[in-house]
């Protein structure tokens, strides 16, 4: 009972500790953690072992299930939040879960996982950082480290210690709906940014999860199982050498630098689902590269595999190297399938002991076993907002600036056109409060682009007008609607095509008709085809998905209060019929090359 009371108290009432919590993997000793894990595994029953291999989703379980099944983990899927989605509601939920875990024979805490991929993006009012495609434009990955560290601190404050980040895909075809989760098409750039992001997450005291292993960003257009004719969760059909160079080797680098968990990819490599791919999950990742953490499956991915039924798929994937099963809804079936496989000798005791040892090793390594609910630490939200704004400033890429139109004058008279001007939700993109994000997203703080420009100009003697003919310059804010995963797959990447904001066309027309100097800003997770439209713009800025502080950050670079330092992490196609990186290179139909970016004239 004492431990129970302590956990509950800690979850709800612990006094704010001001010590910086840092999970420095270099200090924490994998060997000591693994030895402690092995000692516990040697005392565990088959049921306890099977329970530790299960990750259920919070909406599809009862708190008491944690005690009954000795569950190893619980997750929040995108947008799955407790109560009124306050810090206290999160701490209360996790405190109750850890109290239930304390009631089990061995008292092993659950590890709670969320997709905090650009801030604690499930939490109402969270500071939202730029998505990865923007962070990939930031020099030397500086934005990625800051975003990782502040995100880790933010999830710990709510009792969460594991984030399913960073995604280390090297997206090769920007029609993929998850391009914005990729740092770059270039694996070297991905590795540099991912290392920064992971170090930031560990520095902030949370457990990282590098994903999706492997080849998620290399699927062939038209091979998607999820969105027939498109890309997500499709088949990566390339020679093995290219598979290593573009999609695999970044995992080795991250593992050598302390990666603790890996998430398997829904996609396939040359027709073999990665979730059942023993060669890569075990022979390469664990045996050759000596990965000592654990592999978690993706959300209900196991049922997509080639077994003749669900139970067979569980056995197939566990034997291939999956250690923890993210089976949000069918978790009881998965639990029973593991026990069945053990009883029938279809899953060896060694395999189960290895999986559970890996899981407990990470629980020891991360400090979870000693502190099931992280002590509450106050946050200086203004300071975090400032970090997010600086990170966003470092992502913007100046692609055109005729007659040095930029930086604009503080007393300029500006007309703002375009659908990206009036939505913080568009600035944040997907994985924001809701899984897919929302154009109108009241739970997100921050200003719209129009609000930030108006506030700045009114303070500096300038003005905003609704009439283009009265303006010195037109700010044209175009963009994409928020989306996530396969919902973001696109065949038509024009400004009026798939996932483009409906108001883009009218705004482009209005700006052209006005015949005034126009600065176009594109708020999107990936490049779009602008080869015709750009001819009538004097200046053009790629803003990516800059987050809740993106509007103020944009004002700062447009008015020269911060420099343009971003460089393109993706090739920018000139035409919709050659958009994947290879086609762009092969055909030469390129508008801007990988790495391009003008320096603003300050
Ligand atoms: C999703 C994503 C993965 C995410 C997981 C949990 O389907 O593929 O990136 O971490 O489910 O939300």
pLDDT, tens digit (0-9, with 9 covering 90-100), for 480-529:
999 999 999 999 999 999 999 999 999 999 999 999 999 999 999 999 99
Minimum CA distance residue for ligand 1 atom 7: 299
Tell me the CA–centroid distance for residue 115 and ligand 1, in Å: 7
**pLDDT tens sequence across 66-116:** 999 999 999 999 999 999 999 999 999 999 999 999 999 999 999 999 999
How many CB atoms neighbour CB 514 within 10 A? 18
| Model pLDDT, residue 141 | 78
Preceding amide of 166 cis, omega within 30: yes
Tell me the CA–centroid distance for residue 237 and ligand 1, in Å: 22
| Model pLDDT, residue 225 | 86
Average the pLDDT over 10-26 and give the result.
Answer: 43
| Model pLDDT, residue 390 | 97
Average the pLDDT over 577-588 and give the result.
Answer: 88
Question: What are the φ/ψ torsions at residue 292 (nearest 5 degrees)?
Answer: -110, 0
- The Cα 246–Cα 581 span in angstroms is 12
Average the pLDDT over 561-576 and give the result.
Answer: 97
Determine whether the shortest distance from the Cβ of 48 to ligand 1 is under 6 A: no
| Model pLDDT, residue 22 | 58
Determine whether the shortest distance from the Cβ of 435 to ligand 1 is under 6 A: no
Catalytic residue of the set 485, 489, 549, 552: 485
Tell me the CA–centroid distance for residue 299 and ligand 1, in Å: 6
Average the pLDDT over 240-246 and give the result.
Answer: 98
Average the pLDDT over 108-128 and give the result.
Answer: 98
| Model pLDDT, residue 299 | 98
Minimum CA distance residue for ligand 1 atom 8: 298
Determine whether the shortest distance from the Cβ of 58 to ligand 1 is under 6 A: no
Minimum CA distance residue for ligand 1 atom 11: 299
| Model pLDDT, residue 500 | 98
Average the pLDDT over 362-369 and give the result.
Answer: 96
| Model pLDDT, residue 24 | 53
- The Cα 454–Cα 470 span in angstroms is 16
- The Cα 20–Cα 49 span in angstroms is 34
- The Cα 189–Cα 398 span in angstroms is 19
**DSSP class per residue in 219-232:** PPTT--SSSTTS-T
Task: Name the band, by pLDDT with cuts 50, 70 and 90, for residue 366.
Answer: very high
- Ligand 1 test: best mutation among 76, 298, 324, most atoms within 8 Å of CB? 298
Determine whether the shortest distance from the Cβ of 323 to ligand 1 is under 6 A: no
The share of the chain scoring above pLDDT 70, in percent, equals: 95
- Ligand 1 test: best mutation among 167, 299, 328, most atoms within 8 Å of CB? 299
Return the closest-CA partner of residue 391 out of 181, 144, 600: 144
Mean pLDDT, the chain, as a whole number? 94
Determine whether the shortest distance from the Cβ of 78 to ligand 1 is under 6 A: yes
Which H helix or E strand runs over 521?
strand 517-523
Question: What are the φ/ψ torsions at residue 553 (nearest 5 degrees)?
Answer: -65, -40
Minimum CA distance residue for ligand 1 atom 12: 77
| Model pLDDT, residue 17 | 29
Question: Which of 20-24, 155-159, 221-225, 500-504 bottoms out in mean pLDDT, i.e. has the lowest?
Answer: 20-24
Whether pLDDT at 20 is above 90: no
Whether pLDDT at 414 is above 60: yes
Minimum CA distance residue for ligand 1 atom 5: 299
Tell me the CA–centroid distance for residue 394 and ligand 1, in Å: 27
> Would you say 573 and 175 are in contact if contact means Cβ atoms under 8 Å apart?
no
**pLDDT tens sequence across 281-335:** 999 999 999 999 999 999 999 999 999 999 999 999 999 999 999 999 999 999 9
- The Cα 558–Cα 299 span in angstroms is 41
Q: Which atom of ligand 1 is nearest to the CA of 78?
A: 12
Average the pLDDT over 561-565 and give the result.
Answer: 97
| Model pLDDT, residue 23 | 57
Tell me the CA–centroid distance for residue 533 and ligand 1, in Å: 36
**pLDDT tens sequence across 51-76:** 999 999 999 999 999 999 999 999 99
485 catalytic residue (yes or no): yes
Q: Angle at Cα 39 formed by Cα 4 and Cα 111, nearest 5°?
A: 45
Task: Name the band, by pLDDT with cuts 50, 70 and 90, for residue 11.
Answer: very low
| Model pLDDT, residue 25 | 60
Whether pLDDT at 441 is above 80: yes
57 catalytic residue (yes or no): no
Task: Name the band, by pLDDT with cuts 50, 70 and 90, for residue 600.
Answer: low
| Model pLDDT, residue 140 | 81
**DSSP class per residue in 305-353:** SSSSSHHHHHHHHHHHT--BEE-TTTHHHHHHHHHHHHHTTSS-HHHHH
Determine whether the shortest distance from the Cβ of 291 to ligand 1 is under 6 A: no
Q: Which atom of ligand 1 is nearest to the CA of 76?
A: 12
Provide the edge-to-edge strand list for the sheet that holds 111-114.
Answer: 162-163, 111-114, 73-76, 54-57, 325-326
> Would you say 415 and 465 are in contact if contact means Cβ atoms under 8 Å apart?
yes
| Model pLDDT, residue 10 | 43
Minimum CA distance residue for ligand 1 atom 1: 299
Determine whether the shortest distance from the Cβ of 499 to ligand 1 is under 6 A: no
CA distances from 240 to 169, 214, 246, 504, 567 (A): 16, 12, 10, 41, 30
Minimum CA distance residue for ligand 1 atom 10: 164
Return the closest-CA partner of residue 80 out of 60, 66, 59: 59
Whether pLDDT at 576 is above 60: yes
Catalytic residue of the set 57, 203, 298, 533: 298
Average the pLDDT over 429-448 and give the result.
Answer: 95
Tell me the CA–centroid distance for residue 64 and ligand 1, in Å: 25
Which H helix or E strand runs over 542?
strand 539-542
CA distances from 317 to 90, 442, 573 (A): 32, 41, 38
- The Cα 359–Cα 578 span in angstroms is 44
């Amino acid at each position: 009972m004492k431990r129970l009371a302590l956990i509950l108290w800690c979850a709800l009432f612990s006094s704010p500790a001001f010590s910086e919590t840092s999970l420095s993997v270099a200090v924490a000793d994998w060997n000591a953690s693994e030895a402690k894990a092995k000692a516990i595994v040697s005392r565990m029953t088959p049921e306890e072992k099977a329970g530790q291999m299960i990750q259920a989703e919070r909406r599809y379980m009862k708190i008491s299930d944690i005690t009954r099944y000795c569950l190893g983990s619980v997750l929040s899927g995108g947008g799955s939040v407790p109560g009124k989605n306050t810090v206290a509601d999160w701490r209360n939920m996790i405190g109750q879960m850890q109290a239930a875990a304390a009631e089990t024979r061995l008292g092993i805490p659950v590890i709670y996982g969320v997709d905090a991929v650009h801030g604690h993006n499930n939490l109402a009012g969270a500071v939202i950082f730029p998505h990865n495609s923007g962070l990939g434009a930031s020099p030397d990955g500086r934005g990625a480290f800051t975003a990782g560290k502040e995100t880790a601190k933010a999830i710990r404050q709510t009792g969460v210690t594991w984030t399913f980040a960073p995604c280390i895909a090297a997206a090769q075809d920007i029609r993929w709906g998850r391009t914005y989760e990729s740092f770059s098409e270039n694996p070297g750039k991905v590795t540099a940014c991912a290392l920064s992001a992971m170090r930031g997450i560990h520095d902030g005291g949370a457990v990282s999860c590098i994903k999706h292993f492997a080849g998620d960003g290399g699927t062939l257009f038209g091979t998607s199982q999820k969105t027939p004719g498109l890309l997500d969760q499709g088949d990566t059909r390339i020679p093995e050498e290219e598979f290593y160079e573009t999609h695999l080797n970044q995992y080795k680098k991250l593992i050598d630098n302390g990666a603790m968990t890996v998430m398997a990819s829904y996609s396939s490599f040359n027709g073999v689902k990665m979730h059942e791919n023993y060669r890569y999950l075990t022979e390469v990742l664990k045996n050759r590269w000596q990965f000592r953490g654990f592999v978690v499956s993706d959300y209900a991915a196991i049922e997509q595999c080639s077994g003749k039924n669900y139970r067979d798929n569980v056995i197939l994937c566990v034997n291939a190297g999956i250690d923890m099963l993210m089976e949000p809804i069918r978790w009881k079936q998965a639990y029973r399938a593991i026990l069945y496989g053990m009883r029938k000798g279809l899953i060896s005791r060694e395999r189960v002991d290895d999986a559970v040892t890996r899981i407990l090793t990470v629980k020891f390594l991360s400090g979870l076993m000693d502190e099931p609910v992280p002590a509450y630490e106050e946050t200086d939200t203004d300071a975090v907002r400032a970090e997010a704004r600086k990170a966003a400033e470092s992502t913007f890429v100046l692609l055109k600036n005729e007659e040095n139109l930029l930086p604009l004058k503080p007393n300029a008279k500006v007309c703002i056109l375009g659908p990206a001007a009036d939505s913080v939700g568009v600035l944040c993109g997907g994985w924001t409060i809701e899984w897919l994000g929302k154009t109108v997203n009241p739970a997100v703080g921050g200003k719209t682009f129009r609000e930030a420009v108006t506030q700045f100009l009114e303070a500096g003697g300038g003005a905003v007008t609704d009439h283009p003919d009265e303006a010195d310059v037109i700010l044209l804010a175009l963009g994409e609607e928020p989306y996530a995963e396969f919902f973001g797959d696109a065949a038509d990447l024009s400004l009026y095509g798939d996932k483009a904001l409906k108001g883009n066309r009218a705004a482009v027309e209005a700006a052209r008709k006005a015949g005034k100097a126009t600065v176009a800003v594109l708020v999107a997770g990936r490049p779009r085809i602008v080869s015709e439209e750009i001819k009538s713009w004097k200046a053009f800025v790629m803003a990516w998905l800059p987050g809740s502080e993106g509007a103020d950050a944009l004002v700062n670079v447009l008015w020269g209060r911060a420099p343009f330092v971003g460089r393109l992490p993706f090739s920018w196609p000139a035409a919709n019929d050659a958009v994947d990186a290879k086609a762009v290179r092969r055909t030469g139909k390129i508008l801007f090359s990988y790495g391009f970016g003008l320096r603003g004239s300050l």
